[in-house]
């Protein structure tokens, strides 16, 4: 896995307390991409570790996903 390099800029109040963070659009996009990859890995690992191993046929799964999206 590659190392994520970003350059955050911290926003501080007059007492030096950190209030927020600014990221460049490029750094933000990189961070989102890494987060999405992490979520995919986590979902895969959770599916692999399921004990019930009940599977839904592909066409049925696609139909269910489309049904959920249309709500």
Q: What is the pLDDT of residue 52?
A: 77
Whether 1 shows a pLDDT value over 70: the answer reads: no
For the stretch 31-43, pLDDT in tens is: 999 999 999 999 9
Q: What is the pLDDT of residue 71?
A: 76
How confident is the model over 7-11, as a mean pLDDT? 96
* DSSP-based three-state secondary structure for 11: strand
CA-to-CA dists, residue 14 to 44, 61, 69, angstroms: 45, 54, 46
> Which residue did the predictor score with more confidence, 19 or 57?
19
């Amino acid at each position: 896995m590659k190392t994520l390099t970003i350059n955050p800029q911290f926003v501080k109040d007059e007492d030096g307390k950190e209030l927020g963070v600014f990221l460049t659009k490029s750094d933000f996009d990189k961070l989102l991409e890494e987060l999405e990859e992490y979520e995919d890995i986590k979902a895969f690992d959770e599916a692999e570790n399921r004990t019930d191993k009940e599977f839904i046929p592909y066409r049925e799964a696609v139909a269910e996903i489309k049904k959920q999206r249309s709500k």
